Structure 1
Amino acid sequence: MEADDYIMYLYTIKQAKKKFHFYLHAYCLMSNHTHLQIETTNTDISKIMHYINTKYAVYINRKYKWNGHLFQGRFGEKLIMDLVYEIEVSKYIHLNPVRAKLVTKPEEYPWSSYRTYFYNRKDDPIITTSHILKYFSDHPSGSYANYIQTPNTRIHFTPNRKVEFSILKK
């Protein structure tokens, strides 16, 4: 995949956000799959994903003169009903390029929402960081960046609803 292809996928998400109201809390675009942490409001996730995947498939098929389906099978979805799990999913998504050995630090990967979190960019039109960041401290030891970069953690909440995490022994 070329940089233009990743840019087009992000543009397609931006278009989808205008058409269907939803929040994107985390994403990571890999060469052979994507991770999107979407919070829906009124629109079924299937409709949102159908729109994104169809628009993107049309773009790729035209660009590369391909024909047929771009994605194999239906997208995978997991309903997130627990705040701890929601935060852990964002960590999983943001560490995907590190686990794939594409980068050594998640902020080095350009096709992930992690840079928006890491550099505290509030002007990104597709990502909503405030929902997850409100549970983290501004202090470096309790920051989202520290949580992402610390392996084998378990999180819990303080009485004032801030995340604390402990390091688990292997």
Structure 2
Amino acid sequence: MSIVIRPYESRDWGDICRIHDAARLDELGGAGLLEAYLDLAATYENEGLFDDEVWVAEVDGRVAGFIAGSRDEITWAYVDPGLYRRGVGRALVEHMLSLATGPVELEVLDGNSARAFYEALGFVLETTTTGKLAGNEGFQATGHTMVWRPGAASD
């Protein structure tokens, strides 16, 4: 399986919506927040999806995941649930880390199994806070801020 990371193009919109909408259910389910689900079309503007760089991962010419952020923050990261544990998420995160100029921060909902994934890549827990759920502020959520620092060990 060959994974190619490339910049987002407008033709990818339907694919990233499909991926986000399926994977977001897993993310919210782990946090006990399924009732807070909103699709990407309803949230991308308010949550600033395109405020920073957006990259997609292709597997065999098909969009398999996407990631967004800057040199110091990952703001979005979703993989097609049918391709979990196949290296797509790792390739996306490692791509972002290769662009980093210092520490990189991200948020993970409490109960999201992705926390262990990020820890395996060298991210460490910085803080835990409870507040309004990004994208659906009518719900309270607990989130973990995780930080990767250059030179940190990863397996």
Give the TM-score, by structure 2 length. 0.29
Structure with greater proportional helix content: 1
Structure with greater proportional strand content: 2
Give the TM-score, by structure 1 length. 0.27
Structure with bigger gyration radius: 1
